[in-house]
Structures are given as structure tokens and as C-alpha cells.
Structure 1
Amino acid sequence: MPSYIMRPIICLMLILFSGCAHQPADRTSEPTADAYLSPAVEVPSAEISPVPADPSPPDDTVVVNQPSAMAAEWEVPPMVAPSDAEISVDSTEVIDPVAADPVSSANGIQQQLDEALVFCEAAQDFWQKGELENALESLDRAYSLILTIEPDDPPKLVQQKEDLRFLISKRILEIYASRNIVVNGNHNAIPREINANIQREINLFTRGPERRFFIESYKRSGKYRPMILRKLEAAGLPAELSWLPLIESGFKVKALSRARALGLWQFIPSTGYKFGLKRDQYIDERIDFEKSSDAAIAYLKELHSIFGDWSTVLAAYNCGEGRVLRVIRTQNINYLDDFWDLFGRLPFETARYVPRFLAALHVIENLEKYGMADIDAYQPLVFETVDVNRQIHLKDLAVPLGTTREVLKELNPELRYSVLPPRGYTVRVPVGKKDLLLASIDQVPVSSPPRPAFVYHRVKKGETLSTIARRYHTSVKKIMWANNLKRSSYIVAGKKLKIPQRGMVITRAPATAPSPAAWNRKHVVKSGDSLWIIAKRYGTTTQKIQKVNRLSTTRLRINQVLKVPSQKSAGATPSRGSATYYVRQGDSPYLIARKNNMSLNHFLKINNLTPRSTIYPGQSVKIE
């Protein structure tokens, strides 16, 4: 068997069988995959005394919950005893240090544990600098220090020894995993190859349904790519990554995905927060094309320090490093020659993401070949910045500057309501307008963001709509309309209700479909629409809407125009004429519908019933 497989296995056996018999009760769960290859592992502060070490461990740390096996090309010291340089023992007389002086002995052991922790921190610094051999030597030294602690030493010190042993094992696995992940060759190069998966995406971009998307995205790229290129060059990253927003968002700064990822670089809130993108009542910096680019570059650098090759980095950027690491964990220890070894194990969207990016690069470098050489990208955004300490609206700011709200909004897309925050804020203005703004800023009226139409309330046990309405100074009817409730007596604990604010006018959506003259068999998609909502409104089905509009998925976009089949064009059967039926003892909606050759759904619909509705003897219902 090859040595690179045997040595980690031997280390695994050594670390498992040489450990102390004392095992903490909370270390039975398996370590999460997100912990692997993390830049640091935090030692539980409650168990290990703090050591005045500099630098401090990084912030992005994880807690080790399970001893990990030693797996490394690591020269493990003999497990019987440390070297003579560490402990000098008289061969003729052995003195029990604990019996001689328990206090000084405990202090000495604590000092050794503290020294071992310092070596662990030094190993982390070496690893981050890429000095893997020095990192392993530091861990080797730390391990030799904790071997001097015996099971009958004070329990607190034994516990610290166990925690350190687990930490050292974890760090060694991380170092060797990172060794195997890094691809030999030029790590800064974006791979160039054409295979069947990439060719499929090339065909979609050049002659398939996504050709128009590609062209429009390429045009929009001109606004932002020069800025992105400057930032990538300063960070030492490949210039090709400047095309990543084409795949992420089509170079739309306000693109919003189904996963609630937002902006050019499609950050979800948690990842954006991790890399310094703020979000409050006034701003969402995920939409700020400059700050989001800085965050994306920081994220890409972090991922590259973990995975080493850009194809795997891009996969992790799309679905998260934790998901990719979990896939890696299922592979052999020398799993990775390149990204394609992971291709079949990743989610479909992520597996397609990397080929799409590589296909986009190929098309961009061969525009003439694919008949796109005449496409002109938009001009880059140029602007000046001004520090403003006044809460003003962009439409009021546009007047003294002699420009439009739309121009200012394009330069400052991160302003959620086009209102500057009350604190000091750096606003972008067209070139040549800075001095004009500074001269007229005191004359611009103060503004405030619009008041939200709704607040949200989570129903608690024992609450009713009446008590909720009194609390928020509104009415039961308005709450029912806002939440499309049919009965005021039926609310469920834990459900979240929309509560209209005072002064807001709430209108209920029409219960029946509008006439063909009113909607002209077309519907413009608005925020919050879905195929199901549209079908319900117009009395049709999602399948029929998809068929009429040739939609292959249920995804919609705002302002998309849909053809909506009327009931007649959708194949609705004409009414056969209705009659009245009086419910008898033992009847049920199903039995009545079956007696009259009706479908249960149709019977419920013409009687405004639901599957949970109860009918009573003597009640009149409609039948056909």
C-alpha cells in the first residue's frame, strides 16, 4: 500500500490507542465537515487556562467536539516517554513529584500545558503562511509536552491534556487535507478546457435560449468590470474572475435569487455579514457594487487558501465551503486531481455553475467566432464621492445638482429607500457635481424613509385576533384582510401574522377572476407573485399557464408578461345547470358528489366549501 496512505493510518492508530482512558461525555458526536480545513480551531476556554500569546487566534474559529485521528506524514515521538532533554530521571531513585510537592507539581504541569498551547498557536501561524513543515514540527513539540501528564494527575489538568490532544489531532488532519486538496501546478491559473459539460453551456450561450441573456449581461459588464479588475489586480487574483458576476447575476446590481442572495456577487445575508457588508433600515451593502466586490474578493481569497484550485473554489463559492468539504470527506485521502473528481457528487446547480463560468470565458475570448464581435459594452460608471451628514432623499438631492433621481440611484443602489442615513454617509455623485453639492447641501430638505405598511406578529398561545388588534391599535377586519383569513376565530399559535400599521388602507384582492376585458388575457408579474397565486386569481392552473407561455420552470421575474388562459380557452366545461339538494342524515360531500356524477372538487367549489367543511342535515347545497 502506498506510504501516503499507510502513514496517516498508523498515526490514527497511535493517537487513538495512546490517549488517556478519561473521555469527556460530550465528545460522542462526529465532527462536522465545516470544521475541516478551517483556518483555526478554538480550544474550549473553560477548560484550558488562557495563555498570553500573540497573535491571538483568528475570529473564524470552530470548537472541536470529537477527537480526530492523527493522519499525517508526521514523525511521531515514541509514546513511552519524552526525550531526556525534557524530563531527567535518576535511574537509581524515582521520586513521585506529586507526593513531594503537589502544588508545585500542578503548577509545573500547567506550565507545560500552556507551552503546548503556544506551540499549537505557532503551528497555526506557520500553516497560514504556507510553512507546513514548520507547522507540523510545532504540533510535534506540543504533543511531546502533553505526553508527560499521567492519568492520576489532577482531573482538571488531565482534561486540558485531552482537549489539547484532540486539538493537535485536528490540526494535523487539516494540514494534510489541505496538502491533498492543493493541485500541483499554477494555482493562480483558471483552467482552460472544453469537455461535454462545458460545450453544452457554450451552445446555450451562443445559439440557445440564453444567447440574449449573455449579450445583455456582456453589455452591462462595462459599467462595473473596470472597477472589479482594479480590485482583483490589487489582491493578486486572476483577472478572469471579473466575469463571475455574469454567471451570478448577469451584472445586475439588484439581482435577487430564490435563496435570497442579492447583488452583483449574490451574497446571502449571513455571508455578507461575515465579510463586512452591513444591512439596516437605510442601506444594504450587498447591492453596493464597490463594497460587495471587496467582500467577494476576500471570500474568494479565503476559499483559495483552503482548496488551492480555482474550479473547486468556484464550486464552494456557489454552494458554500461546508458542502464541498463534506463531499471531499467522502473521497479517498488523495481524492483530487481537479474539480471534475467532485463533479458528480455536487448539487446540480453547483455542478453546472463551474462549466457555465468556463463556457462564458471561452465565448468572451472568441466573440468573433460566435457572431458577437459587434457587441459594445456600456461605459464604466464614473463619479465623485462626497461625505454628507444630512438625511436627505435622492430626488431632493438631484434638483440642485441638475441631474435625475435615476442617475443618483444607479450610483448609490445600496440605499434601500433612496434616503441617506442620518449618520455621516459617503454618497456618489456625477463627475463635476461635488462642489455644487457642498455649496447647496444646507438647502436640501431633510427626509425620512417610508413607513412600512405592515409589522409582523407571531401568535402566542391564548391570543385572539381581538387581543392582537387592540395591542396594535387596528381592527380585526384589517388583520383578516391583510392575511386572507376567512374566520376570525381560527388562528394558530406560532403563525406569523401581518399587522397593518395605523393609517394604512388595506384592500382585499378580488375573490373572483376579473373579466377578460379587464385583464386582456395577460398578467404582469409583480413582487410576491407565483404561478400558483396567478392561477388561483384567474381560475386556471399552473400547468395551463406554463403550457401557454412555454415555461420550462416555475421561476418568474418581476415585470414579466404572462398570457393567462381564460376558463373557456383552458378547456372549462360549460355548466350543465344547477339544482338544489337538501342534505340528509349520513350524507357527506363525497357521497353527494358521487350520486350526482360530479367531481368532489367541483362540488366543493360551487358551494364555497373546503375539504374540512362540515355539512348538516337539512342544509341546502348546489348540484349539477
Structure 2
Amino acid sequence: MKINFKNILTVLLLASAHCVSAQFLSASDTSENSVKRYRNIIGSNKVVVDFIEYSLVQKGLPRHLRNLALIESGFDRRQVSGAGAAGVWQFMTAHANQYGLSEQSRSDLYRSTKTAMISLTQLYKKYNNWVTVVAAYNCGEGNIAKAMDAAGSSQYHIFCKYLPAETINHVKKYLNACYATGELESVLSNYNSSRMNTVFFVNGGSKTDNDPLEQTDINAGFNLDIVADELKVDMDKLLSWNPGITEELQTKGESTLRLPTDLMPDFLLRKNKILSRSIKAGATANTK
């Protein structure tokens, strides 16, 4: 009997990833009071939440990022922290200026949200998981770099002990909020997917986040959820390779789809099937 050591390694690493999720990254407060508190804040700010979620979808970002504004300010655009952070997204002046947002505009819901979308997209391109993005949003990329260097690792559950206590607590709040909104599994899956890519690279894997991307043109007939399903990739991963693709498909009717070199042949082979499934899904949705 031939033993496939590569498959054994894969199973062990996957099991390890689930252990990491359970041991290091989980909701620290799943009490009824915690869940009720977060849900009440969301329900009491429906207009603001709807606008933020619409903005996220337009930029191809996951809806759970609305929880960042939830824990930052409780969706209160008049909120000003003791450190001087202001608005729904709690921008510090330096962070705001980095993206061309004036100090006065930090409390402007429309402008600050537009700026937050840009910031979050760029942070995700750099860190490739939303847990580290939330941490970086709170304490800055410089502190993340120092923590990674001190720990000798780019994995949040390893380097987080070198971060400010406030940032560690901030990430815990985010995970608690995502538990309350039923999105914690998605966040942890995204983190473990990113972690596994790093592990496979260390062990000689063929695919990393730095692999070159190939591109092809698609039109609005393609459903991105179905593209992700056919290629067996996480939706957040697909969107990280293609920031802004959702908005471009909706406004222009066409866009460039970027995929890693090893996935592009699979897409081209399945292109007609993906389009057919997308059209059927669209027809079904329209009849409801």
C-alpha cells in the first residue's frame, strides 16, 4: 500500500487549523446579554447600517465589516474618543489624512465610509485576513509589523501577544459582535484559509498570496458566488483578488476577473457552465 504523505500532511494541517480557531480565535462573550446588546445597537441604527452594508457590497467587501463601525462607535457619527478619534469609523486625524479625508470630514458619514472602504481594501490586500485587518485598523500597520517581527510570525494568534492590550480587546469585541450577527464562522474560516496558505508555502506548497494573477474578461451575467463555488475558493479570497469587481459589474456590466495562475485554467474550462448556472440562478431569483 502506497502512503501519500502529502495527503497526511494536509489532513494534519487542516486539523491544526480548526484547533487554532477553537483555541485562539473565538467569541469570548456569547452570553444572551452580549448578543442582545449588539443586535439592539444594529436595530436602533438601521438607516446607518443599511448605508454601510450597501457601501460594503458595492466595493465587494463582506457585510460583517459593518461590525467594525459597531464596536468603534456604535454607529454614532458624533462620537469622539479620548484619543481624538472621530466619527462612525473613529478615524484619527493622521489616518484620515492618509486617504485624503479632512479632519472635519471624519464625522461625515458618507465621506468617512467611503474612506473606510478604501482603507479596509488596502489592509486586506496586505494581510489577507479580516482578523489582522481589524487589529491593524485599531493600532496601525507599524505596530502590526513590530509584533510580527517580535513573534517571528505573520499569524495573528501568534503575534497578538505583542500588540497593545486595547487592540487585543478590540479584536475580541469584533469576534463577539460577529457571533451576535451570525458571521463568526465566516470570519474564522477566512482566517484559517489565510493561515493554511501560509503553512503550505512554508512546507513547499505551490500557491502563495504573492503568486502572479492572470486575468480574463467577464460580464454581469456571471454570479461571483457561483464562480467561487465552482473554483472551490472562499468568496472573501475571490474578492481580495478582485477589489471593486462587484461595483464594476453592476455599473459597467463587465469587468476583469483576476485569478492565480493555477486557477485560471479551471475557470476557463468551466466558464460556460458557470455562466449557465449564473443565468439560471438569476432567473430563479427574479421569479421569487
TM-score relative to the length of structure 1 = 0.25
More helix, by proportion: 2
Question: For 1:373-412, what aligned pairs fall within 5 Å after superposition?
Answer: none
Matched, 1:324 2:144: yes
Q: Distance in 2 between matches of 1:314 and 1:273?
A: 19
Question: 1:222 and 2:46 equivalent?
Answer: yes
Deviation at 1:255, TM superposition (A): 1.1
Q: Find the counterpart in structure 1 of residue 97 from structure 2.
A: 273
Q: What residue is the counterpart of 1:291 in the other structure?
A: 111
CA-to-aligned-CA distance 1:320-341 (integer Å, 9 cap, x gap)? 1111111112233xx23x3211
Paired residue secondary structure (1:316): helix
Q: Which residue of 1 aligns with 2:160?
A: 343
CA contact (8 A) 1:202 1:360 kept: no
CA contact under 8 A between 1:277 and 1:292: conserved in structure 2?
A: yes
The alignment status of 1:304 with 2:124, answered yes or no, reads yes
Q: Secondary structure at the match of 1:202?
A: coil
1:363 and 2:180 are equivalent in the alignment? yes
Among candidates 60, 72, 84, match of residue 236 of structure 1 = 60
Q: Post-superposition shift, 1:310? A: 1.3
Deviation at 1:240, TM superposition (A): 1.1
**Secondary structure, aligned partner of 1:237:** coil
Count of aligned pairs between the two proteins: 166
Q: For residues 24 and 157 of structure 2, what CA distance do their matches in structure 1 show?
A: 12
| Matches of 1:222 and 1:216, distance apart in 2 | 10
The alpha-carbon distance between structure 1 residues 215 and 305, as it changes in their structure 2 partners (threshold 3 A), is: closer
**Conserved in 2, the CA contact under 8 Å of 1:256 and 1:263?**
yes
The unaligned stretches of length 5 or more in structure 2 are: 1-12, 15-19, 184-288
Which residue number in structure 1 is paired with residue 29 of structure 2? 201
What is the match of residue 82 of structure 2? Answer: 258
**Counterpart position of 1:155:** none
Q: Sort the Cα spacing of 1:213 and 1:261 in 2 relative to 1 into closer, same or farther, 3 A.
A: farther
Does the 8 Å CA contact 1:255/1:266 hold for their aligned counterparts?
yes
Q: 1:501-540 to 2 correspondence within 5 Å?
A: none
Of the two structures, which has the highest relative contact order with CA contacts closer than 8 Å and spacing of 6 or more? 2
SS at match of 1:255: coil
> How much does 1:202 deviate?
2.7
Across the aligned residues of Structure 1 and Structure 2, the Cα RMSD in angstroms comes to 2.6
Instruction: From the superposition, tell whether residues 345 and 233 of structure 1 become closer, same or farther in structure 2 (CA, over 3 Å).
Output: same
- Taking a change above 3 Å as real, the CA distance of residues 196 and 303 of structure 1, as seen in their structure-2 partners, is closer
The 3 A distance-change label for structure 1 pair 308 and 197 is: closer
Cα deviations across residues 281-335 of structure 1 (Å, max 9, x unaligned)?
A: xxx2111111111111111111112212211111000011111111112233xx2
Alpha-carbon distance in 2 for matches of 1:341, 1:194: 14
Structure 1 residues 212 and 234: alpha-carbon distance in aligned structure 2, compared to 1, 3 A threshold: closer
Change (3 A) 1:305 1:197: closer
- Corresponding residue of 1:563: none
Q: Judging changes above 3 Å, is the alpha-carbon distance between structure 1 residues 246 and 300 closer, same or farther for their aligned structure 2 residues?
A: same
Confirm or deny: 8 A CA contact 2:39 2:181 kept in the other structure. no
Distance in 1 separating the partners of 2:181 and 2:81 = 24
- 2:144 counterpart letter in structure 1: V
Residues 105-124 of structure 1 aligned to structure 2 (within 5 Å) = none
- State the 1:359 CA deviation: 1.4
Instruction: Give the drift of 1:198.
Output: 3.8
Q: CA contact under 8 A between 1:255 and 1:263: conserved in structure 2?
A: yes
Give 1:351's aligned amino acid.
I
Can you list the C-alpha shifts for 1:328-364, whole angstroms capped at 9, x where unaligned? 12233xx23x321122111111011112111111112
Q: Secondary structure at the match of 1:200?
A: coil
Distance 2:145 2:167 in 1: 14
Does the 8 A contact of 1:213 with 1:250 survive in 2? no
Q: Where do residues 601-616 of structure 1 align in structure 2 (5 Å cutoff)?
A: none
Cα distance, 1:199–1:274 mapped onto 2, change above 3 Å: closer
The CA deviation at 1:193 is: 4.9
Q: Which amino acid aligns with 2:65?
A: L
Cα distance change, pair 233–327 in 1 and its aligned pair in 2 (3 A): same
The separation in 2 between residues aligned to 1:259 and 1:295, in whole angstroms, is: 20
Give me the TM-score of the superposition, normalised by structure 2. 0.52
Percent of paired sites with the same residue: 28
